[in-house]
């Protein structure tokens, strides 16, 4: 059992949990995730390790309420427990000195890039973070990114905060003004596709962190298979990060919809 | 057929005793040569014939740590029973060794409710015994762990899923191996002193060198064949195409058949095609039928005699109304505008000369292409060794072609003190072959640790 030691509401539908998971911390690196199973009846849900606190033996999980399982997790309180946490899983983010790196996070995707931003900064990169969301309320971790990045740009679709527009609008501005050596991106699939499209004419290496449906997450079931440069790859063990230029985003979008009806049914119970 | 209750019923006491009395206690005991875990078969049968069931289960457990599992899923007809001297002498066929093993194991379950009351061996374990780690709690790992505990070591068994058993848990359905039986068997392994730790993925949560740092003196890898193969035909990424592993894991491990009480979904529609004809394919197709598929169809490119499944499994499937399309090979899967499977196009085949596997090679019949409407396709054409541990441990030498871990004659990998056995070293095999490998490796580890 993994006790929740702290809970913070980052937005109406976005919850931060600090959870005891001492075993996970030992090998955890930026970009890796855990599989969480709340109780005997719950699904296995992948969540990025957003931060680790070695002294307390906790990991930070940031959860957006989307379906039954995320709703149940968001309803937990400090002192409650999560039955199973498996991890760290997936390949860590490649961290070296690239030069200028733009971190592009859409919605709760920003949370997944925080440890990468920190590690990239520690490795001597200039880190520019773009955090985008539909509106001001959904912008998360602004202060945290400000503490580790050289520059933080906020975009909102409705202009309620920061620059009005999409993350790609901010990205275009940055690319126009300076050399960018690498882009790392996490968010909704259409956004990752758009960021990759924006970067392509400039040939800037663009890494995307995919959010395929997972089950065992150890390479055994292939439910997370995606097409990378025409080849089948498992997001759980070959990813979750891939070269954005090679990803078949349209297929992933269709595959991620395959249990929509069941998700609705589960939410009604 | 809607429920997941066990299908095969075991012997009654009377039937078991009568069957045991058929054994003529021949001198050569050829049956023993057919048992990968070396059970003294004639001796346990003699004890059954004398109604000494307690003695019989102790005799089996001297060698076999999972008798209730083996009594159900071992292909005895091609192993111990295939060597019985009663075959071909007009004496009513081989002694039903598998059914007798199951009877004895079930007798113990009924008469000794606490598994901890009946460990065999495991005595005399010293406080200062060396710590050993076993990775993967499938048949190979459970066997190695149990034997290592019997040798007197402090054994920790690591499992990445939320419950132990490996393929016995996520792969084999309830109606073939009831969960209560499996829980009982893993409980017995724990009663020998094995500590089972779930939700730990060795290679990621703790590396192999991390295990050595933590004081483990030797490691056994029994991580199995967990890499599903696909056909490589167009349409396999469509929604509604599952690997056998995904389909069975959703149902067996995650209880998708009790959705939405259990939150993991599985979707099958009305017509389900399962590609392949091994035991796993039979499990998938019978599960699909139980989940409400109107038509559950086996599609296999060779003929019925070539099907790798046990005869009994094919017969059970037929009795349950499964349709078989032998000599039929899928060439593509088509989807609708939503990306969901709507049909599978197949070619009819005929059999030519034997191929490398010794089975007659299927050859497409020209112009035989036809489309079969289906909602779900489950690919059950085998699997390769799980690559995760080799991927995260560069010191482990792997066969380039098969991906199997390389081991020497003492079951040791290229990394000192790290042993391996079961499907991870041989490719997909039977439960009992993996158990035999676990047993052999445990003995090799004991010699290694004594020499160290």
Residue B92: per-residue pLDDT: 84
Verify that A61 and A116 share a domain, yes or no: no
Nearest to B312 by CA among B1, B5, B8, B3: B8
Q: Tens of pLDDT along B410-426?
A: 999 999 999 999 999 99
Closest CA to B88 of B18, B35, B30, B44: B30
Tokens coding A199: 């970067």
What local confidence, expressed as pLDDT, does residue B418 receive? 98
In a mutagenesis test of the B interface, which of A34, A222, A231 is the best target, namely the one with the most B β-carbons within 10 Å?
A222
Mean pLDDT of chain A: 95
What's the confidence (pLDDT) of residue B8? 85
Q: Do A43 and B263 touch (CB under 8 A)?
A: yes
Does B113 score more than 70 pLDDT? no
Q: What is the mean pLDDT of residues B150-177?
A: 96
What residues of B are in the A interface, CB distance below 8 Å?
A: 160-162, 170, 198-201, 204-207, 210, 226-228, 230, 236-237, 239-240, 242-243, 245-246, 249-250, 254-255, 259-265, 267, 338-340, 386-388, 391
Cβ–Cβ contact A123 with B under 8 A: no
CB B273 within 8 A of CB B261: no
Domain closes at, from A51, A70, A89: A89
Examine residue A263 and state whether it is found in any structural domain, yes or no.
Answer: no
Q: How many Å lie between the alpha carbon of A86 and the closest alpha carbon of chain B?
A: 5
Number of domains forming the structure of chain A = 2
> Domain end: B342, B360, B381, which one?
B381
pLDDT in tens, B58-107: 999 999 999 999 999 999 999 999 999 999 877 789 999 999 999 999 99
Instruction: Say if the Cβ atoms of B210 and A26 lie within 8 Å.
Output: yes
Q: Which of A37, A86, A223 sits opposite B160 (nearest CB)?
A: A86
Q: Testing the interface with A: which of B202, B205, B233 to mutate, by most A Cβ within 10 A?
A: B205
Chain B residues close to A216, C-beta within 8 Å: 160-161, 170, 245, 249
Please report residues of A whose CB lies closer than 8 A to that of B387. Answer: 219, 237
Average pLDDT over residues A102-106: 96
In Å, what is the CA distance from B275 to each residue of B63, B324, B326, B328, B359?
37, 10, 10, 9, 18
Cβ contact B263–A215 (<8 Å): no
Say whether B434 sits in a helix, a strand or coil: helix
Buried b (16+ CB within 10 A) or exposed e, A148-161: bbeebbbbbeeeeb
Chain A nearest C-alpha distance from B241 (Å): 9
A247 & A135 share domain:
yes
Residue B56 is predicted with a pLDDT of 96
Write the pLDDT tens digit of every residue in A48-71.
Answer: 999 999 999 999 999 999 889 999
Indicate the residue among B339, B365, B381 that finishes a domain.
Answer: B381
- Residue A15, pLDDT > 70, answer yes
User: Do B59 and B104 fall within a single domain?
Assistant: yes
Q: Would residue A50 count as lying in a domain? A: yes
Interchain pair B239, A254: CB under 8 A: yes
- Any chain B CB within 8 A of the CB of A220? yes
CB pairs under 8 A between A and B: 123
Same domain, A117 and A200: yes
* pLDDT tens digits along B343-360: 999 999 999 988 888 888
* pLDDT tens-place string over residues A91-100: 999 999 999 9
CATH of the domain at A158: 3.40.50.80
Considering the domain architecture, whether residues B172 and B237 belong to the same structural domain is answered as no
What confidence category does residue B124 fall into, taking pLDDT thresholds of 50, 70 and 90? Answer: very low
Residue B116: inside a domain, yes or no?
no
C-alpha A113, offset from chain centre: 6
Verify that A85 and A104 share a domain, yes or no: no
Phi first, then psi, for residue B23 (nearest 5°) are -65, 130
Q: Contact B48/B20 with Cβ under 8 angstroms?
A: yes
Q: Could you tell me if B303 and B439 lie in one domain?
A: no
Look at residue B66 and tell me if it is in a domain.
yes
- What global pTM score does this model have? 0.94
User: Where does a domain end: A52, A69, A89?
Assistant: A89
**CATH number of residue B141's parent domain:** 3.50.50.60
Evaluate the omega torsion of the peptide bond into residue B189 and state whether it is cis, within 30 degrees of 0: no
Tokens of B130: 């060396």
And the tokens for A177? 């003004």
Residue B122 inside a domain? The answer is: no
Q: In Å, how far are A34, B147, B287 from B157, measured between CA atoms?
A: 21, 12, 30
Given a cut of 60, whether residue B125 has pLDDT beyond it is no
Q: What is the mean pLDDT of residues B366-377?
A: 97
Please determine, for residue B57, whether its predicted confidence score (pLDDT) is greater than 70. Answer: yes
What percent of chain B lies above the pLDDT cut of 70?
Answer: 96
In A3-62, the residues whose Cβ lies within 8 Å of chain B are 23-24, 26-27, 37, 41-44
* A218 closest CB neighbour out of B201, B250, B263: B201
A222 touches chain B (CB under 8 A): yes
What pLDDT, on the 0 to 100 scale, is given for residue B161? 97
Cβ atoms of A153 and A163 closer than 8 Å: yes
Question: Strand pairing of B131-135 and A241-243?
Answer: unpaired
Domain count, chain B: 3
Best mutation target, A21, A68, A91, A221, to test chain B (most B CBs within 10 A): A221
Strand A151-156 with A163-164, pairing = parallel
Q: What is the CATH number of the domain that holds A16?
A: 2.40.30.10
> Which chain A residues have a beta carbon less than 8 Å from that of B201?
86-87, 89, 218
Task: Give contacts of A 227-246 with B, CB under 8 A.
Answer: 227, 232, 237
Domain presence at residue B163: yes
Rounded CA separation B67/B182 (Å): 10
When pLDDT is cut at 50, 70 and 90, the band that residue B282 belongs to is: very high
- Complex ipTM tops 0.85: yes
CB < 8 Å to B198, chain A: 84
Q: Are A221 and B245 in contact (CB under 8 A)?
A: yes
Can you give the C-alpha Rg of chain A in angstroms? Answer: 18
Give the pLDDT mean for B254-264.
94
pLDDT (0 to 100) of residue B143: 96
Instruction: Look at residue B126 and tell me if it is in a domain.
Output: no
Q: What CATH number does the domain containing B58 carry?
A: 1.10.1060.10
DSSP A182-216: EEEEES-HHHHHHHHHHHGGGT--EEEE-----SS
Residue range B381-439, pLDDT digits in tens: 999 998 999 989 999 999 999 999 999 999 999 999 999 999 999 998 999 999 999 99
Pair B240, B365 in one domain: yes
Grouping H, G, I as helix, E, B as strand and the rest as coil, residue B21 is: coil
| Claim to verify: residue A76 and residue A191 sit in the same structural domain | no
Per-residue pLDDT of A226-263, as tens digits, reads: 999 999 999 999 999 999 999 999 999 999 999 988 98
Residues in chain B with CB shorter than 8 Å from the CB of A215 are: 246, 249-250, 254, 264
> Is A149 found in the same domain as A16?
no
* B154 domain residue, yes or no: yes
Closest CA to A221 of B285, B178, B165, B230: B230
Assess if residue A31 is contained within a domain: yes
Domain boundary among B82, B111, B140: B111
| B7 assigned to some structural domain | no
User: What's the CA gap between A64 and B265, in Å, rounded?
Assistant: 20
Average per-residue pLDDT for chain B:
93
- pLDDT for B121: 56
What is the residue range of B219's domain? Answer: 131-226+384-449
């Amino acid at each position: 059992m993994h006790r929740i030691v702290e809970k913070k509401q980052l937005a109406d539908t976005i919850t931060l949990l600090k959870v005891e998971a001492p075993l996970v911390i030992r090998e955890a690196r930026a970009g890796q995730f855990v599989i969480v199973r709340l109780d005997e009846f719950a699904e296995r849900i992948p969540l990025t390790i957003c931060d680790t606190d070695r002294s307390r033996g906790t990991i930070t999980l940031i959860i957006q309420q989307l379906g039954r399982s995320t709703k149940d997790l968001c309803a937990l309180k400090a002192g409650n427990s999560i039955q199973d946490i498996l991890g760290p899983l997936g390949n860590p983010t490649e961290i070296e000195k690239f030069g200028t790196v733009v971190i592009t996070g859409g919605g709760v995707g920003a949370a997944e890039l925080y440890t990468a931003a920190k590690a990239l900064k520690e490795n001597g990169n200039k880190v520019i973070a773009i955090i985008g969301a539909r509106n001001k309320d959904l912008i998360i971790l602004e202060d945290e990114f400000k503490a580790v990045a050289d520059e933080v740009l906020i975009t909102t679709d409705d202009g309620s905060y920061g620059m009005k527009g999409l993350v790609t609008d901010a990205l275009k501005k940055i690319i126009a003004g300076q050399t960018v050596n690498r882009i790392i991106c996490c968010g909704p699939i259409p956004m990752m596709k758009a960021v990759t499209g924006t970067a392509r004419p400039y040939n800037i290496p663009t890494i995307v962190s995919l959010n395929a449906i997972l089950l065992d997450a150890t390479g055994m079931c292939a439910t997370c298979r995606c097409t990378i440069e025409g080849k089948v790859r498992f997001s759980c063990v070959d990813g979750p990060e891939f070269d954005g230029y090679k990803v078949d985003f349209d297929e992933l979008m269709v595959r991620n919809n395959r249990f929509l009806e069941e998700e609705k049914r589960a939410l009604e119970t | 057929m809607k429920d997941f209750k066990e299908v095969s019923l075991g012997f009654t006491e009377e039937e078991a005793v009568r069957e045991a009395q058929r054994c003529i206690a021949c001198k050569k005991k050829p049956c023993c040569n057919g048992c990968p875990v070396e059970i003294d078969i004639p001796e346990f049968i003699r004890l059954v014939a004398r109604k000494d069931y307690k003695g019989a289960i102790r005799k089996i457990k001297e060698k076999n740590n999972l008798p209730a599992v083996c009594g159900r899923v071992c292909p005895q007809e091609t192993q111990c029973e295939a060597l019985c001297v009663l075959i071909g002498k007009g004496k009513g066929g081989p002694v039903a060794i598998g059914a007798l093993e199951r009877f004895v194991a079930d007798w113990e379950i009924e008469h000794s409710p606490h598994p901890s009351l009946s460990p065999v061996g495991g005595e005399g374990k010293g406080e200062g015994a060396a710590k050993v780690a076993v990775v993967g709690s499938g048949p190979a790992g459970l066997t190695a762990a149990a034997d290592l505990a019997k040798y007197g070591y402090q054994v920790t068994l690591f499992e990445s899923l939320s419950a132990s058993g490996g393929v016995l848990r996520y792969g084999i359905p309830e109606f073939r191996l009831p969960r209560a039986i499996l829980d009982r068997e893993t409980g017995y392994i724990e009663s020998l002193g094995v500590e089972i730790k779930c939700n730990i993925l060795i290679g990621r949560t703790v590396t192999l060198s991390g295990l050595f740092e933590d004081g483990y003196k030797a490691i056994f890898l029994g991580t199995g064949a967990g890499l599903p193969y696909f056909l490589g035909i167009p349409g396999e990424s469509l929604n509604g195409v599952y690997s056998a592993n995904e389909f069975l894991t959703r149902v067996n491990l995650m209880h998708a058949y009790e959705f939405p009480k259990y939150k993991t979904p599985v979707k099958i529609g009305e017509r389900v095609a399962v590609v392949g004809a091994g035991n796993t394919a039979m499990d998938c197709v019978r599960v699909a039928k139980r989940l409400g598929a109107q038509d559950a169809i086996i599609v296999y490119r060779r003929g019925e005699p070539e099907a790798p499944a046990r005869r009994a499994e094919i017969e059970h499937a037929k009795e349950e109304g499964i349709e078989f399309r032998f000599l039929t090979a899928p060439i593509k899967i088509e989807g609708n505008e939503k990306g969901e499977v709507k049909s599978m196009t197949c070619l009819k085949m005929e059999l030519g000369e034997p191929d490398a596997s010794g089975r007659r090679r299927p050859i497409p019949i020209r112009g035989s292409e036809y489309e079969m409407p289906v909602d779900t396709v489950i690919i059950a054409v085998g699997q390769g060794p799980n690559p995760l541990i080799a991927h995260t441990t560069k010191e482990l030498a792997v066969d380039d072609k098969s991906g199997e871990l390389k081991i020497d004659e003492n079951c040791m990998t290229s990394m000192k003190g790290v042993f391996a056995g079961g499907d991870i070293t041989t490719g997909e095999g039977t439960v009992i072959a993996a158990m035999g490998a676990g047993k052999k490796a445990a003995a090799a580890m004991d010699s290694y640790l004594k020499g160290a």
